[in-house]
Structure 1
Amino acid sequence: MALKTLSAASAAALDKDLMSVGAFSLDQLMELAGLSVSQAVYRVHPPSKGRRILVACGPGNNGGDGLVAARHLWHYGYKPTMYYPKQSSNELYQRLASQLKDLSIPFTTDFPAALKETDHILDAIFGFSFSGPVREPFSTVIQALSETKIPVTAVDAPSSWEIETGPPKEGPGAVYMPDVLVSLTAPKPLVSFFKGRHFVGGRFVSPVIAEKYDLDVPDYEGIDQVVEIGKDGKRL
């Protein structure tokens, strides 16, 4: 069975439907997405493997998901450090950042130094709406992610990858392959190029919306917000 995926245009339209037909607010969707990501990190990198998590956030919604995930990870007992160099002036993102500062979670501007003091990395820089080229400081960060031996979990897309065509032909992301990918709502076409462990987090998609976009919503167990799936789309 081929894995059903969601194009960038369909993903954007689906988000609009979730906030209109589905009556979700952006805050709610970001909270659920970040919760899903935090659960995936807990699955692949439990605290026994090391509690230090470096969270790299971009200026958009993908970065917001990372901010939420970091808060949940702190409550699980991890020690997140935030790399968030292009902090948005948007009120929502400012509140999310303030929540982390209230927990005394440190923010750093020195990514190379932080990379030497972490056990796992969360890539929440760019999501499905990304289109290149990558600019500084993120080009240097993505190059470092492609070279590090520290495990990386990417949120919705490995940063710098095109949603339809996968990794760029050249540049800092050309050889970037994170260890784990958490597809939010549904997998995107880039998963055909991905070689690591793959999770789907989207336990907020109604049957009506799933039918409209021809999605295969996985069977989530118990209180789980994520499901690990194989190349064929079946749960592992």
Structure 2
Amino acid sequence: MMSVSCVSAAIAAAIDADLMFIGAFSIDQLMELAGLSVSQAVFREYPVKTHTNVLVCCGPGNNGGDGLVAARHLWQYGYKPVVYYPKPTPKDLYQRLCQQLRDLNVPVYTKHEDSDFRHLLTSSSLVVDALFGFSFKGPLRAPFDSILEAIIGSKLPVLSVDAPSSWDIDKGPDHEGPCKGFMPSVLISLTAPKPCSLFFRNKHYLGGRFVSKALLNKYHLVLPPYPGMDQIVDITGSKLETEESA
């Protein structure tokens, strides 16, 4: 059984900082590689012919930015993505990502209406959950609480980016409330799995192929090699090691 390191939210943030300040990556580059890996996980698990209409739900932070990038790549693969981005970030990077999608005629919805969102769900075959990543601290607030409730109620397959939205990054899924029992069909962890991954029971990928050997050594990380030119690696069934269990 392959062992894979889990990292806390604090360590994940430190690695991101080191990737930019020591590794010389820009946030644009990291987001592009992360979004590319998300799109490859979709392509691997959900063929274009059977899951053409992909609803990409984006939150206001970097996780949402990964979703915006993934949507662009999915369009290039032949999918018909629709982006739901109810609280768009005004920063230039995110605005450019949205413009890139509009240039491809990918719909980008930036205002939340429950009826509109539920209508989009009925015409979708898959949801990409790029609402919140490792920096999330609950509870969910409007409009994301009703968005996630609608996603769960739709019974559509869900691929979550880095962490299933609404999950505590350390303790996993909610044990009460409307999001109780939320378990996506697929999870793609980025850089390294987070502790909440210990509670995940379905298909699990790792993406974010940008960690150098120096950073692996600095943070004592055990991560699997990526095969060939793939930006993802299947870690389903791997033994996930936390700092306490390593």
TM range (shorter): over 0.9
Give 2:95's aligned residue. 94
* CA displacement 1:46-102 (0-9 Å, x = unmatched): 112121000000010000000000000000000001110101111110000110011
Give 2:244's aligned residue. none
Give 1:61's aligned residue. 62
Match of 1:135 among 141, 145, 150: 141
Matched residue of 1:85: which SS? coil
- Name the CA distance, whole Å, in 2 between partners of 1:172 and 1:107: 27
- Name the CA distance, whole Å, in 2 between partners of 1:125 and 1:214: 29
| Bigger mean CA offset, 93-102 vs 143-152 | 143-152
Structure 2 counterparts to residues 96-175 of structure 1, below 5 A: 96-108=97-109, 109=112, 110-175=116-181
Contact preservation (8 Å) 1:142, 1:176: no
Q: How far is 1:233 from its partner? A: 4.2
* CA displacement 1:98-143 (0-9 Å, x = unmatched): 1001111012342110000011110000000000111111101111
Aligned length: 234
Give 1:180's aligned residue. 186
Contact preservation (8 Å) 1:159, 1:173: no
Contact preservation (8 Å) 1:3, 1:231: no
Give 1:193's aligned residue. 199
State whether structure 2 residue 7 is matched by structure 1 residue 9: no
TM-score (norm 2): 0.92
- Name the CA distance, whole Å, in 2 between partners of 1:184 and 1:49: 26
State whether structure 2 residue 220 is matched by structure 1 residue 220: no
- Name the CA distance, whole Å, in 2 between partners of 1:124 and 1:42: 16
Give 2:41's aligned residue. 40
1:188 maps to amino acid: K
Query: Where does structure 2 lack aligned partners over 5 or more consecutive residues?
Result: 241-246
1:69 maps to amino acid: A
Give 1:209's aligned residue. 215
- Name the CA distance, whole Å, in 2 between partners of 1:202 and 1:123: 17
Matched residue of 1:80: which SS? strand
| Bigger mean CA offset, 35-44 vs 211-220 | 211-220
| Bigger mean CA offset, 61-70 vs 160-169 | 160-169
Matched residue of 1:31: which SS? helix
Q: Percent identity?
A: 57
Give 2:243's aligned residue. none
Query: Relative CO higher for 1 or 2, CA cutoff 8 Å, sep ≥ 6?
Result: 2
1:204 maps to amino acid: F
Give 1:77's aligned residue. 78
Q: How far is 1:213 from its partner? A: 1.4
Q: How far is 1:146 from its partner? A: 2.2
Give 1:27's aligned residue. 28
Query: Where does structure 1 lack aligned partners over 5 or more consecutive residues?
Result: none
Give 1:230's aligned residue. 236
Matched residue of 1:93: which SS? helix
2:211 maps to amino acid: V
1:163 maps to amino acid: I
- Name the CA distance, whole Å, in 2 between partners of 1:232 and 1:217: 11
Stretches of 4+ moved more than 4 A in 1? none
| Bigger mean CA offset, 218-227 vs 33-42 | 218-227
